[in-house]
Amino acid sequence: MPRRTQSRHGSLQYWPRKRASRIYPTTSFWPKFKDARPLGFAAWKAGMTHILLTDGNGKSPTYGKSIAKSVTIFDAPSLFVCGFRIYQRSYSGSISLAEDWVKKLPKGLELMRKTIPGRKEFDSKLIDKADDVRLIVCTQPQKSGLPKKKPDVFEIGLGGEDSKQKFEYAQSVLGKEISAKDVFKPGEFIDVSSVTKGHGYTGPVKRFGIRIQTRKDKQMNRHVGSIGSTTPRKVDWRVPQAGQYGFHTRTECNKRIIMIDDDTKKITPAGGFVGYGVVPESFIMIEGSVPGSRKRLVRFRKATRTTKTLPADVKFISTGSKQG
């Protein structure tokens, strides 16, 4: 046999395949930018449609021609900046030094349960010890098409040359709103994080796509042929077995933003999106599909693997009702 010198192809699975800890994901890494600005945003997935645009990829055989693309529409009302938190790096990870919250919350945001207990006075002298500053933002469901009252609270990273610049920006936007246009622009590539559709406890055929056995296989068909060798006396973790399928936190990189607009009549079908409804204020249109089901909160982040932009020349947006 020839000697194998090539590196391994393919992934050794996502592991462990267990349920996500919450309905919306956590972003643990933020890219570095010199400008003091938010590096992330969040919106609710409303549905999908298709568009016609001019192919701007110079290496494509259809360059300069009109092509059809599937796109995902997100209901993207502005986020409310309810606080900020400063961090200091240590050997065991980042440590929260202090946080400052807005004194008065707008009507409709039920955040008092999360912000009042344990609140302390913010000491601005701690900023000299800080290595990072992040915004604490919350969604505004009353401005979306969802019949939801309770907002979701999470952190957003900030760009800046040092912690003092980030701190000054955080103070300037405290108690204000951030829109998608303040963070991204059309044609930009971003990273998308979401919790995938959940399918519950399933067998190895559906979970890993293994072959269904024949009629001679010991009265079982939907199982693996062998769970391993006699020694060592244990089942390896790579063996396909039954367990949780779906509802996992996943991140897809380099998804292009086609459009960010406040005129929702351009994209809303008659009667609204199936299973979601009408997008009332503003929307984000992203090329291709995105993990997660309708009505699920999806988080966006500045791209970590590319800085290129490719504006889209949209010719037509389908507003027909999409079933399924």
Instruction: Tell me the average pLDDT across 17-24.
Output: 92
In this structure, the answer to whether residues 95 and 51 fall within a common structural domain is no
In this structure, the answer to whether residues 122 and 65 fall within a common structural domain is no
- Span 181-192, pLDDT tens digits: 999 999 999 999
Task: Write down which residue in 132, 153, 178 finishes a domain.
Answer: 178
In this structure, the answer to whether residues 103 and 204 fall within a common structural domain is no
Q: Which range marks the domain in which residue 291 is found?
A: 13-29+47-76+185-211+240-324
Enter the tokens of residue 147. Answer: 């019949």
pLDDT confidence of 107, banded at 50, 70, 90? confident
Q: Which residues pair with 137 in a beta bridge?
A: 81, 154
In this structure, the answer to whether residues 97 and 112 fall within a common structural domain is yes
Mean pLDDT value across the chain: 89
In this structure, the answer to whether residues 148 and 248 fall within a common structural domain is no
Question: Residue 269: is the preceding peptide bond cis (ω within 30°)?
Answer: no
Of 86-95, 110-119, 137-146, 148-157, the least confident: 110-119
* Number of folded domains that form the chain: 2
Torsion of CA 207, 209, 292, 314, to 10 degrees: 180
Looking at the chain, list the stretches that DSSP marks H as alpha helix, in order from N- to C-terminal side: 112-115, 163-173, 204-208
pLDDT confidence of 39, banded at 50, 70, 90? very high
- Find how far residue 104's CA is from the centre of its chain: 29
pTM, to two decimals: 0.89
Indicate whether 90 belongs to any domain.
yes
For residue 265, what are the CA distances in angstroms to 65, 125, 208, 222, 298?
A: 26, 49, 42, 48, 22
Instruction: Tell me the average pLDDT across 54-59.
Output: 88
Indicate whether 101 belongs to any domain.
yes
